[in-house]
Structure 1
Amino acid sequence: MPRVRHHLQGSNPTKGTHLFQAQVSSSNLLWEEMHKQSIVFLFLSLASLHNVMAYMGVGGGIGVWINGQNAPPSSPSIPSQSREFQALQAWKQAITEDPKGILSNWVGPNVCTYKGVYCSDSPDQTAPSNVVAGIDLNKANLKGILVKELSYLSHLTFFHINTNRFSGTVPDSFRDLQLLTELDLSNNQFSGPFPTGTVFIPQLFFLDLRFNQFSGEIPDELFQKNLDAIFLNDNQFEGEIPPSLWSSPASVITLANNKLTGTIPTTFGYMSSRAKELLLLNNKLTGCIPETLGYLTGMEVLDLSFNSLNGHVPGSLSCLTGIEVLNVAHNQLTGELPDVLCDLKRLANLSVAFNFFSGFSQECNQLPNRNVGFDFMGNCIPGQDMQRSQPECNGVSGGDLSCLRIPGNRPVGCGTAQATLGIGIGVGIGSFELPPVGLSASMGPVP
């Protein structure tokens, strides 16, 4: 049941997607490992429902019947009045096109023989001997809607229906799927506001809504959940990124190719984050690149391209010692590229193209000799090819005064709660200690 693929992969790629070619290998390796962990996590989740040896088919001849390929061993049949039977039959009636005949064997009360339905032993002795533990109908080309009766599948741990033609909204009754850990609705035609019922699913670990037509604001509660992966890219989400982004424990967050506005929340960098990939490209973000982004020391891929960010690149990004792909192309950034940024040892691809940078150091000039992809075209760097015209360079402003920083050495305290931050050109340079997680330097506790 394949589900893990490149984060921005889909049938309708938008501008900016091509910039990910350089990061595919590192990103795929990361997600191959995450996929293995996810499978392990799934088995552990199922183990909490039943005897894991039975699930694996060891002992007693009890197993999982996948896609209706194997008839179940001698055990009581699931009664026709089963709520699971009602749920799947109601959903089948709401599916209007099934060109591959996937649902042709969705007949009769024994739902464990249905193609795409995964069963396991019931943890409840008062329930039928086997219960629906998962649904995987990826790439089935089904057309239809989701129905509220799907919440009757109370033992469901994964629900994968990516790359189909489902439309409409996600029923709020999904909040009743108390054991669900993985929800993949990607590459469909869903619309309406963010499916808020999903933020009330207590065990949810993986959420994939990318390549749909969801709109409206992203709820603040989403980033307060114990999710490991959040894929919201290629929708129509708008409004500002919730300030709670900093509190998410997710290792991958993709909000790319939406209509998000406002600034990148500065509080994001204060967290004890496990973030490895943060993709915010192709939105309508403005303001500075926050100094505090430099303290996400586990970051491997950071893409802020195709926005309207301005000011100087903060030297604190040199604290991203594990960074492999850094993309700030197609913004309105100015000043010189910090030396220490080009000195990052694990860097594989750095793109600063189509900004208004006025120069970079010898250290940056040596990046190609280290086999580091370095794209600086479309800037204002004297003596370099493929740069902007002088009138165009003269016409750019430096952005908000608060975004201007004097380039310096690597900030002290990388990986800790300390940083040396430029307060602003014309104001002076000062130092302060970053507050503990959950505190704001100027406003005290963050609500």
Structure 2
Amino acid sequence: MKNSTSCLLALLLPISIIVARAAVIVGGGAGVGIGISGTGGVWIGGGVNPPTSAASKLSAAYAALQAWKAAITDDPLNITSSWNGPNVCSYKGVFCSDSLDFMGNPAGKVVAAIDLNHANLQGTLVKDLALLADLSLLHLNTNRFSGGVPPSFRSLASLTELDLSNNRLSGGFPAAVLDIPDLVYLDLRFNSFSGPIPEDLFDKKLDAIFLNNNLFSGELPQNLGNSPASVINLAYNKLSGAIPFSLGYMGIKEILFLNNRLSGCIPEGVGMWSDLQVLDVSSNSLMGHLPDSLSCLGNIEVLNLARNQFSGELPDLLCSMRSLINLTVSANFFSGFSEVCDKNSGFGFDFSFNCIPGRELQRPQPDCAAVPGGGLSCLRIPAARPLVCAALLGAEFTHP
């Protein structure tokens, strides 16, 4: 099986490589690389526009970083001990890039990235960080920052990657990130954010959305399928209600709903995710029969349906998919499966704790007498016969 995070490798290049290749445009205009900043936003230091020359931007960066240093209350690795003097490009964890003026001439250094992953810093995020007008990467994974994300972060117009994972941040979803125009990577996992997930998130041009291991609640936005992201992780929250029917974007590769409070059926629309490699809906309260459209997932490698209340027979369509390496349907109420499923049993296929006659490790009969959701009506695409996709054309798949 392909590594489940391989689709993010392009986003995780070393900071030094990214910064070395960056070309930052000073004073607006078009350009390529890490720091296409534009001229929008409000400069906290005064006025209606951020500083435009490289020298003034470095001065602003100095003010921002000193304000942040003052808000850091514990620094066991002495990271910020180097944050002294106006040469911010020498600060540990701060990376600068050469900038160009609108004519393409060298215009001096600007702060392009901050990487403080695993620094174990304790403190808060300060509004002054919005002074870093050319900041493209802000990586703060595995620290002890608490409080919320300042609304001023919406002025970080050049930001493409924001990693705040594994901290102690709280409050509602940080709405400021929805106003960052070129953001492609958003990682908020392992914090204490709570409340609903805003619909606008799934209309942004993000490639990766990590919201898992927080306290988000409420129903999934109906426009979830609008997102062009290749990876969406919503696991380990308190999300409820049904999986939206409008799951129509075909580029997603991994989506994880596990350990929430979702109910209802798996919608037929899931079959439109033709590039999907990993789907995990385990540990929810989903029920009903599996949709025939699952057979359309021609690239699926990992399918985890465990610890729900699914019922009916496990279809040939599912066990015959050639790319499927791991199928877990344990702890449901399936009443049987086909010869193809039986043949693949034990090769990464887990059918335990269901209601399948003659199989070992099944539920006791009294548990199977009343199948949950027996009267549930799942919306199905009208068809004269079950929906069978190209994934099943050709020879029957069996594991070696």
Tell me, yes or no, whether TM beats 0.5. yes
Structure 1 partner of 2:308: 331
Question: CA 1:146/1:384 → structure 2, altered by over 3 Å: closer, same or farther?
Answer: same
Question: CA 1:138/1:345 → structure 2, altered by over 3 Å: closer, same or farther?
Answer: same
- Equivalences for 1:28-107 in 2 at 5 Å? 28-32=5-9, 35=12, 42=18, 46-47=22-23, 49=25, 82-107=59-84
- Equivalences for 1:195-274 in 2 at 5 Å? 195-268=174-247, 271-274=248-251
Decide whether the 8 Å contact of 2:24 with 2:98 is kept in 1: no
Decide whether the 8 Å contact of 2:267 with 2:379 is kept in 1: no
Aligned Cα root-mean-square deviation (Å): 3.1
Decide whether the 8 Å contact of 2:57 with 2:133 is kept in 1: no
- Do structure 1's residue 113 and structure 2's residue 90 form an aligned pair? yes
Decide whether the 8 Å contact of 2:295 with 2:317 is kept in 1: yes
Match of 1:155 among 107, 119, 134: 134
- Do structure 1's residue 308 and structure 2's residue 285 form an aligned pair? yes
SS in 2 for 1:26: coil
| Gap runs ≥5 in structure 2 | 36-52, 392-400
Structure 2 partner of 1:378: 353
1:216-259 CA-partner distances (Å, limit 9, x unpaired): 00010000000000000000000001111110000000000000
Structure 1 partner of 2:394: none
Structure 2 partner of 1:61: none
Deviation at 1:332, TM superposition (A): 0.4
What code does the residue aligned with 1:411 have? L
Question: CA 1:114/1:239 → structure 2, altered by over 3 Å: closer, same or farther?
Answer: same
SS in 2 for 1:266: coil
The TM-score with structure 2 as length reference comes to: 0.85
1:135-184 CA-partner distances (Å, limit 9, x unpaired): 00000010000000000000000000100000000001000000100000
Question: CA 1:77/1:172 → structure 2, altered by over 3 Å: closer, same or farther?
Answer: closer
What code does the residue aligned with 1:364 have? C
The TM-score with structure 1 as length reference comes to: 0.76
**CA–CA distance in 2 between the matches of 1:150 and 1:265?**
37
Q: Percent identity?
A: 54
Decide whether the 8 Å contact of 1:79 with 1:109 is kept in 2: no
**CA–CA distance in 1 between the matches of 2:98 and 2:205?**
27
Structure 2 partner of 1:131: 110
What code does the residue aligned with 1:47 have? A
Question: CA 1:352/1:28 → structure 2, altered by over 3 Å: closer, same or farther?
Answer: same
- Equivalences for 1:287-366 in 2 at 5 Å? 287-366=264-343
What code does the residue aligned with 1:331 have? N
What code does the residue aligned with 2:63 have? Q
**CA–CA distance in 2 between the matches of 1:385 and 1:84?**
65
Question: CA 1:34/1:285 → structure 2, altered by over 3 Å: closer, same or farther?
Answer: same
**CA–CA distance in 1 between the matches of 2:206 and 2:226?**
11
1:284-324 CA-partner distances (Å, limit 9, x unpaired): 00001101101111000000000000100111101101000
**CA–CA distance in 2 between the matches of 1:280 and 1:119?**
38
Deviation at 1:265, TM superposition (A): 0.3
Question: CA 1:409/1:360 → structure 2, altered by over 3 Å: closer, same or farther?
Answer: farther
SS in 2 for 1:237: strand
**CA–CA distance in 1 between the matches of 2:144 and 2:172?**
18
**CA–CA distance in 2 between the matches of 1:248 and 1:136?**
27
1:103-148 CA-partner distances (Å, limit 9, x unpaired): 1110001101101000012334799721100100000010000000
Decide whether the 8 Å contact of 2:268 with 2:379 is kept in 1: no
SS in 1 for 2:186: strand
**CA–CA distance in 2 between the matches of 1:294 and 1:39?**
37
Deviation at 1:44, TM superposition (A): 10
